[in-house]
């Protein structure tokens, strides 16, 4: 099967500094890939390079077999959406106006949103539970509401793939779970391909299909959740002792970080560990 998105020996740098080196991986249609790694490991840079927002210094990003830089922005925005951490609107705008922005790539220069565009926007708002916010000002919403509106805008683009850049960074834990439920639903029931940078390893492990662990601008490990979230990988990348067990409900690997004085060096940790074969 032809991958939807493919990084081929991708390297990215700002000025003298190389931020990404030798990155190669594939994303297939219907994937839910979480990108994890410490701060400064290049997660966000990778996501921006995948979207064509920054140029590759070496290698290529291929989207549906064509280098991403060969797409016009408008062409790309018809099937790829990007949800960032923060949004800086200068003008006051209503939620409906914000969501309708997602129709831009489908409209010609002088045309107005037609009934079809309004319907697509309405469905996106229904799906993200933002329909009731339509006439409110975007600036007046809570963090969780804004997040959902921005996802609605991304859905209004009618994308096949959505890239999320640490979308839960400013949400409380309840809204973080809501967010993951929502994108899981998009992935499962709408067949959307998802690449999400996440700083919460446990939530990412709970929801995603595959994971990409980054370290210092390189891929440390890529594979299924249980291949990536292992004690040795976590220790090697984060430089911390971890306790690894399984989430009793979902069965996904779960980590607990241990501080310097929390018996990480003693055997106690090993005894408490619930190993996959014991469950």
Give residues 18-47 in contact with another protein (rule: CB under 8 A). Answer: none
62 binds another protein (CB under 8 A): no
Task: Return the number of the residue (59 or 105) whose C-beta is nearest another protein.
Answer: 105
Span of 5-13, 75-83, 204-212, 231-239 interacting with another protein by CB under 8 A: 75-83
The edge-to-edge listing of strands for the beta sheet with 66-67 is 17-27, 5-14, 58-63, 66-67
Q: Checking DSSP bridges between strand 58-63 and strand 66-67, what pairing results, if any?
A: antiparallel
118 binds another protein (CB under 8 A): no
Contact assessment for residue 136 and residue 95, using Cβ atoms and an 8 Å cutoff = yes
Strands in 127-247 per DSSP E: 161-165, 193-197, 210-215, 218-224, 241-246
Task: Return the number of the residue (75 or 142) whose C-beta is nearest another protein.
Answer: 75
Task: Return the number of the residue (74 or 188) whose C-beta is nearest another protein.
Answer: 74
260 binds another protein (CB under 8 A): no
Span of 96-104, 201-209, 219-227, 259-267 interacting with another protein by CB under 8 A: 96-104
The edge-to-edge listing of strands for the beta sheet with 161-165 is 80-83, 161-165, 193-197, 32-36, 210-215, 218-224
Which of 204, 238, 217 minimizes the C-alpha distance to 44? 217
Task: Return the number of the residue (50 or 203) whose C-beta is nearest another protein.
Answer: 50
Positions touching another protein (CB under 8 A) are: 51, 53, 72-78, 81-82, 84, 87-94, 97-98, 101-102, 104-105, 107, 109-110, 112, 137, 139, 153, 157
């Amino acid at each position: 099967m032809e991958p939807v998105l493919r990084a081929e020996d991708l390297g990215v740098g700002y000025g003298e500094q190389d931020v990404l080196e030798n990155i190669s991986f594939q994303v297939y249609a219907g994937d839910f890939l979480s990108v994890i790694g410490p701060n400064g490991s290049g997660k966000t840079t990778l996501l921006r390079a995948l979207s064509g927002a920054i140029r590759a210094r070496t290698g290529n990003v291929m989207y549906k077999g064509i280098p991403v830089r060969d797409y016009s922005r408008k062409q790309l925005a018809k099937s790829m959406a990007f949800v960032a951490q923060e949004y800086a609107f200068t003008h006051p705008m209503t939620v409906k106006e914000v969501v309708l922005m997602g129709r831009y790539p489908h409209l010609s220069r002088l045309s107005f949103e037609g009934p079809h565009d309004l319907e697509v926007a309405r469905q996106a708002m229904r799906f993200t539970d933002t329909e009731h916010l339509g006439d409110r000002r975007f600036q007046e919403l809570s963090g969780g509401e804004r997040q959902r509106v921005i996802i609605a805008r991304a859905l209004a683009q009618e994308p096949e793939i959505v890239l999320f850049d640490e979308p839960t960074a400013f949400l409380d834990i309840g809204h973080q779970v809501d967010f993951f439920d929502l994108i899981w639903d998009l992935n499962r029931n709408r067949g959307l391909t998802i690449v999400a940078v996440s700083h919460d390893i446990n939530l990412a492990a709970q929801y995603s299909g595959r994971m990409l662990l980054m370290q210092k601008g390189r891929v440390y490990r890529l594979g299924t959740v249980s291949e990536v979230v292992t004690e040795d990988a976590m220790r090697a990348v984060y430089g911390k002792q971890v306790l690894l067990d399984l989430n009793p409900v979902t069965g996904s690997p779960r980590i607990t970080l241990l501080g310097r004085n929390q018996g990480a060096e003693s055997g106690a940790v090993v005894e408490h560990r619930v190993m996959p074969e014991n469950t």
